[in-house]
Structure 1
């Protein structure tokens, strides 16, 4: 009888340990708003580039080193705070021809799949919503710490880059002077929660 009891207790302990191990290997982070920014770069008149800056964003990331193909990455950008190099461009970007911030005040990225290409670089696949339109995008990401080694105690720096066609999001104005391809760069510091 004692042998059966000991066996049951051992099995229960192993079950608890494996359950605790699974829970402990899922780590959550939040974007540090002070150390986070987004910019969007587009060709202008075929001879240079123009940039828009998005200084106000929030979000979170959930990583599991045991399941590296999964990620929960959510970033919400306050488009009403966007700026450009001059007031006229800032006004146009906030207007109906581009982000139309009076009607669509936020831009959102939701990433669900992670494919690592090496220990610190990978691709996050998900959806980008801007101006009320949602499209699938692939975000090329670089982590300052290999995600497989994350233990949820230290901050991580994350940089993500993707290129979209602005016309896919209903931003079709000024096509003779403004390029259609827009390169978006996210730079953030992730803080453990």
Structure 2
């Protein structure tokens, strides 16, 4: 019976841990540290959504990313982002579909294994929001794309002690503009992108 209070105390400490971790991050740019950051691959992903014959929305992801961020919290518009996506590493939880998407019918990753995004302009739209415009190169085609970005905050990671900044972003692209037009319009042309990433400041 004496073990029960101890177990309750342990459970309460565990329940409090996420709040403690969240308290490390701040969105107050006057308190955020800048510098050169590298993308934390274990906490970054691009999710895509596309309509399937008008019956449903199909989801997949590009979980293998690399990138760098030069972040200036005093002048966010001067920041620079450079990301490389391993297109060949796409994941839909359907191995046969993954194989088909990698084929010449779609991404043709034997010829175009990666995609890149490099900023050309950043516009601050709010205390924690902005529009990040850059050149997206996919399937051998380069087009400008604008991301609607949200700043989650910066602070020290309580586990790794690294200084981290984190962002979410959304965008919409037409795959046909990049030469990926198989089955359009039956399988949607417009693709929604949901992006999330944490960046660790380089030591």
Instruction: Classify the TM-score, shorter chain.
Output: 0.7 to 0.9
Counterpart secondary structure, 2:98: helix
Whether contact under 8 Å (1:26, 1:65) holds in the other structure is yes
C-alpha distance after superposition, 1:54-73 (max 9, x if no partner): 11110011122343322210
Q: Which has the higher helix share?
A: 1
2:199 pairs with one of 182, 185, 190: 190
C-alpha distance after superposition, 1:130-180 (max 9, x if no partner): 00100001011111128xxxxxx7311111111000000001111142100
Counterpart in the other structure of 2:85:
77
Counterpart in the other structure of 2:118:
110
Counterpart in the other structure of 2:103:
95
Partners of 2:96 and 2:185 lie apart in 1 by 18
Give the CA deviation at 1:26. 5.6
1:33-182 alignment runs, 5 A limit: 33-145=41-153, 154-182=163-191
Report which of the two structures shows the higher radius of gyration computed on alpha carbons.
Answer: 1
Give the CA deviation at 1:185. 1.6
Which segments of structure 1 move beyond 4 Å, counting only runs of 4 or more? none
Counterpart secondary structure, 1:141: strand
Give TM-score, length-normalised by structure 2.
0.76
Partners of 1:66 and 1:35 lie apart in 2 by 25
Q: Which runs of 5+ in 1 are unaligned?
A: 1-24, 147-152
Whether contact under 8 Å (1:70, 1:112) holds in the other structure is no
C-alpha distance after superposition, 1:7-63 (max 9, x if no partner): xxxxxxxxxxxxxxxxxx861111001111111111111021112211111001112
Kindly report the root-mean-square deviation, in angstroms, between the aligned alpha carbons of the 2 structures: 1.6
Partners of 1:28 and 1:140 lie apart in 2 by 22
Partners of 2:173 and 2:191 lie apart in 1 by 5
Partners of 2:59 and 2:137 lie apart in 1 by 19
